[in-house]
């Protein structure tokens, strides 16, 4: 889960990482009043809150010299489209006069199987370019989870990149705070870019990114509450409410795949792709494939206009196949959508009874034996 900037900065503030004073605006009404209530010092910077980078180059970062100008910019920015994301919130921040921009992050590195400290004294919007054209300007250090941030780590990254060592104590303190945040919040990434050196020689987080492991959300109620503010696919949200996992795959696809296990889902998707077809979305049913859950899952799938074929592949030693078939028939009857077809592959108790239910329903549902035969049925339907 990727947090918005103001959500990331709220965590920074919780761990006493210096940030600018700011106000979040989520509605055009009363904008100037809310800016005034925030007692911000002008000039300020207005920043669109979207889950993507490059906002400045896309018109999502502006400066204002007065509350009236700031309110005008906020109203203009709300509703903008930035790289496919709609701006529902903006953040007004006090502008900081700075001497230099640094980069600092801690990320989960799967290669070293450890947190990775990354530092560069050449931060800002072009950090990716720095990584490509000036790799010696970026230092990386795998961290021992049992030892944390050591003095020599900070000395190494500063000496390697040529950073001014007069800020060594501040950098170590900031890195230690990010490290605690990283572990406390089960983060995949905690990033400050830029980490500014201001005119008083103090470090300040001018921007921030935090990515949280989705599996940890049940243990983080404050972060789970933030999720409602994020822009997510409507079917992803709807499926999550009933404990399904909905995964958009290919926008141009027209097939929906459902199963009660990620391994089987991937196998089905691979076989469908090998036949030259495209899967639009997948849905993991999880446990308990009852008729009501099957019907709800099919309804969610068919709510995607591009999907004309739903493939259900369910296997369970004690899963009742007549429950699966009953749910599929129930959903197709309610959908009443012409041109839709359902391919059903199931193994378990009452399999023969399930086939009879489908055959007598008169609905566009095909029962197939095995995954390869199911994929061939999908192929024949589209050809």
Residue-range domain boundaries for the chain: 21-95, 98-227, 234-382
Q: What is the pLDDT of residues 235-277, one digit of tens each?
A: 887 888 888 889 999 989 999 999 988 889 999 999 999 999 9
Answer whether 0.95 is exceeded by the pTM: no
Q: What is the pLDDT of residues 106-155, one digit of tens each?
A: 999 988 889 999 999 988 766 666 666 777 789 999 999 889 999 999 99
State the DSSP string of 233-286: -HHHHHHHHTT-EEEE--TT--EEEEESSHHHHHHHHHHHHHTT--EEEEEE--
Q: What is the pLDDT of residues 21-65, one digit of tens each?
A: 999 999 999 899 999 998 999 999 999 998 877 788 888 999 999
CATH class of the structural domain 21-95:
alpha beta
Which DSSP helix (H) or strand (E) runs through 6?
helix 5-14
CATH number of 98-227: 3.30.470.20
Average pLDDT, the chain: 90
Q: Is the distance from CB of 253 to CB of 281 less than 8 angstroms?
A: yes
Q: How far does Cα 75 stand from its chain's mean position?
A: 26
Residues forming the active site = 103, 191
CATH number of 234-382: 3.40.50.261
Count Cβ neighbours within 10 Å for each residue of 35-68 and write b for 16 or more, e otherwise.
Answer: beebebeeebbbbbbbbeeebeebebbbebeebe
Q: CA-to-CA distance for 117 and 141, rounded, in angstroms?
A: 5
Q: What is the pLDDT of residues 276-317, one digit of tens each?
A: 999 999 999 887 778 888 999 999 999 898 999 999 998 876
């Amino acid at each position: 889960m990727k947090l918005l900037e103001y959500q990331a900065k709220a965590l920074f503030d919780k761990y006493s990482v210096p940030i600018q004073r700011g106000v979040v605006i989520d509605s055009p009404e009363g904008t100037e009043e809310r800016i005034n209530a925030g007692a911000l010092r002008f000039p300020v910077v207005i920043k669109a809150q979207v889950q993507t980078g490059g906002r400045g180059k896309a018109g999502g970062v502006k400066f204002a010299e007065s509350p009236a100008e700031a309110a005008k910019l906020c109203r203009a920015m709300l509703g903008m489209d930035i790289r496919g994301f709609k701006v529902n919130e903006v953040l007004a921040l006090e502008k900081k006069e700075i001497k230099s921009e640094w980069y600092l992050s801690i990320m989960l590195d799967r290669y070293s199987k450890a947190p990775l400290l990354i530092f560069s004294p050449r931060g800002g919007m072009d950090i990716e370019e720095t990584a490509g054209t000036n790799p010696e300007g970026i230092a990386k250090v795998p961290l021992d989870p049992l030892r944390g941030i050591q003095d020599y780590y900070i000395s190494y990254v500063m000496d390697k990149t040529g950073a001014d060592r007069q800020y060594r104590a501040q950098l170590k303190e900031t890195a230690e705070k990010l490290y605690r945040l990283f572990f406390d919040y089960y983060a995949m990434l905690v990033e400050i870019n830029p980490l500014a050196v201001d005119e008083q020689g103090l470090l300040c987080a001018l921007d921030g990114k935090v990515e949280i492991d989705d599996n940890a959300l049940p243990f983080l109620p404050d972060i789970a509450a933030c999720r409602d503010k994020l822009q997510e696919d409507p079917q992803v949200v709807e499926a999550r409410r009933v404990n399904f996992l909905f995964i958009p795959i290919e926008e141009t696809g027209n097939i929906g795949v459902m199963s009660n296990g990620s391994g089987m889902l991937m196998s089905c998707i691979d076989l469908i792709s090998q036949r030259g077809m495209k899967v639009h979305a997948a849905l993991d049913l999880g446990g308990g494939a009852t008729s009501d859950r099957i019907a709800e899952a099919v309804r969610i799938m068919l709510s995607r206009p591009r999907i004309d074929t739903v493939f259900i592949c369910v296997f369970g030693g004690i899963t009742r196949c007549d429950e699966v078939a009953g749910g599929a028939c129930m959903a197709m009857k309610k959908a009443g959508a012409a041109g839709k077809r359902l391919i059903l592959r199931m193994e378990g108790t009452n399999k023969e009874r399930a086939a009879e239910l489908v055959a007598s329903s008169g609905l566009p549902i095909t029962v197939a034996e095995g995954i390869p035969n199911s994929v061939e049925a999908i192929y024949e339907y589209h050809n």
